[in-house]
Amino acid sequence: MGEQLRGNQDWMSHLPDELLDVSLWNLAIPGSHDSMSFCLDLSSSVVKSESRLLQVLDRLAPCWTRPCIFRWATTQQEALEELATWLDAHPKEIIIVCCSHFSCLTLSDHTQLVDYIISLFGPKLCSSQDCPTLRSCWSKNQQIIVSYGNQDMVQHHPELWTEIPYWYADSTDPKKVIAYLEAQKRKGRPSGLYICGLNLTESIPFVFLHPFHNMRKITTKALAVLLGWVAEQRAGPEVGSVNIICCDFVGVSDFCDCVIGLNYKRVVLKEH
């Protein structure tokens, strides 16, 4: 974990007092688009979700990827256990975990995974019936929101949140990604938590035509454009405002600083 990520481990507890009673969906929150199938990079209140590259690989070699995703969902997660330990050490940080795109999971598999999540995090789970703010979460010692992409499980477990809307452009072109997000913003933001995805997505033709490219190289090359867009955003309930912003390889740039800084920009604008 890089110095930049370590420096943001307790960013929520350092926010100005006037933001402590703002709902979490009206704050700007940095998120990682990395898959929990490797090892969770424990930095701060960062969203974790599956890698879009897995979807590409699933179309190219489903016999290889589906057992991997199956094992991810049905074995005891080292990453989740590390996350639970990390939360104990950072009692004022709130984590949002997105579990989605389950492949080949049965009802029994879902039940096993959900039971494990609930037993592991227990009272730290923020109920989906709440309208969480930092102060309200702190008062209840709640630290984690789990969004789960299976509605049957969500309906039977108030500890789980419905799948969080995720805006992504399905393109390797950062300008197209930004154009898509701007078009979505003009339609109005969701009423609760939602995610703007800066992740670039490799299509099957792109993979075959660029055999020596990888997502890290593509993303690193696009970071200047993507971070330029982030710096222009604002957090809040208004049309056009952002909430969670996700990117790949968040440790190789000042992405987290940039997103977290949007909250301070909101305070400055309010004062003027």
Residues 5-35 have pLDDT tens digits of 456 889 999 999 999 999 999 999 998 865 5
Cα separation, 83 vs 144, in Å, equals: 10
Can you give the pLDDT at residue 271?
53
Cα–Cα distances in angstroms (integers) from residue 78 to residues 13, 46, 68, 82, 250, in the given order: 26, 17, 15, 6, 21
pLDDT band at residue 209, thresholds of 50, 70 and 90? very low
Mention every residue, 6+ apart, whose C-beta is less than 8 A from residue 67: none
Which residue would you say has higher pLDDT here, 38 or 90? 90
**CA-based radius of gyration for the chain:** 18
Q: Outline where DSSP puts E strands in the chain.
A: 29-32, 95-99, 144-148, 160-161, 166-167, 195-197, 244-247
Q: How far apart are CA 254 and CA 215, in angstroms?
A: 18
Residues 80 and 125: beta-carbon distance below 8 Å = no
More confident residue, 119 or 222: 119
The yes-or-no verdict on residue 144 having pLDDT over 70 is: yes
Task: Please give the average per-residue pLDDT across 189-213, as a whole number.
Answer: 69
Decide: 120 and 114 in contact? Cβ < 8 Å: no
pTM: 0.80
pLDDT at 186: 93
Summarize the confidence of residues 81-91 as an average pLDDT: 92
pLDDT class for 60, splitting at 50, 70, 90?
very low
Query: pLDDT category, 236, cuts 50, 70, 90?
Result: very high
Between CA 233 and CA 260 the distance in angstroms is 11
For 150, the token pair is: 């299976």
The Cα 121–Cα 128 span in angstroms is 15
| Domains with residue ranges and CATH for the chain | 3-266 (3.20.20.190)
Task: Please name which of 170, 152, 171 lies closest in space to residue 162, comparing C-alpha atoms.
Answer: 152
Mean residue pLDDT of the chain comes to: 79
Starting at the earlier edge strand, list the strands of the sheet with 166-167. 29-32, 244-247, 195-197, 166-167
Q: Which of 10-19, 47-56, 170-179, 236-245 has the lowest mean pLDDT?
A: 47-56
Give the span between the Cα atoms of 218 and 202, in whole angstroms: 10
Task: Name the pairing type of β-strands 160-161 and 166-167.
Answer: unpaired
- Please tell me the distance from the alpha carbon of residue 45 to that of residue 30, in angstroms, as a whole number: 7
Residue 46 structure tokens? 């960062």
Looking at residue 228, its pLDDT comes to 95
- Find the angle CA(242)-CA(35)-CA(30) to the nearest 5 degrees: 25
